[in-house]
């Protein structure tokens, strides 16, 4: 498999997660690039996209906490790099959504009353998200320890 193929697959992958395809391609490029950062014109040229599309993609990734913008002293352009431990950060951000799913399930349980069939589905939803809220923090703590040992 070539790097270009990986970058395109990353675009499709992240698009399925709700980012733009260009944002996903940027992630793929930054994950496989020789350098640890690039400026927007470099990325636009490397990925053959318009500068305006690149600007939107980089803003989306920066707002999601997946890339960091910085400037090297003496240079005029901002540069972009993957955020430190980007995937653990993204996972932590997703964990915040678990409570919202659990609350939605509780709302549904109040709405359906005592109907056992309807309650079962909503209870499974509530209980699964409660389980994930309980277990995932310790998994991330384990990851932090493992990462620090590397």
pTM above 0.95, yes or no: no
Q: Please tell me the distance from the alpha carbon of residue 33 to that of residue 36, in angstroms, as a whole number.
A: 7
- Asked if residue 86 lies in contact with residue 41, where contact means CB atoms within 8 angstroms, the answer is no
- The tokens for 125 are 């939803």
Enumerate residue ranges in the chain where pLDDT < 70: none
Encode 119-137: b = buried (16+ Cβ within 10 Å), e = exposed. Answer: eeebeebbeebbebeeeee
- DSSP label at residue 78: -
């Amino acid at each position: 498999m070539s790097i270009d193929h990986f970058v395109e697959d990353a675009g499709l992958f992240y698009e399925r997660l709700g980012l733009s395809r260009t944002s996903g391609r940027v992630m793929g490029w930054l994950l496989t690039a020789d350098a640890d950062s690039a400026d927007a014109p470099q990325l636009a040229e490397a990925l053959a996209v318009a500068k305006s599309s690149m600007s939107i993609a980089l803003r989306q990734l920066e707002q999601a906490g997946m890339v960091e913008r910085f400037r090297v002293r003496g240079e005029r352009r901002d540069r972009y790099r993957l955020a430190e431990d980007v995937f653990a950060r993204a996972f932590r951000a997703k964990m915040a959504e678990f409570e919202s799913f659990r609350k939605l399930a509780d709302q549904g349980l109040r709405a359906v009353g005592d109907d056992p069939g309807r309650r079962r589905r909503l209870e499974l939803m509530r209980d699964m998200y409660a389980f994930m809220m309980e277990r995932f923090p310790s998994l991330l703590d384990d990851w932090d320890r493992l990462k620090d040992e590397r």
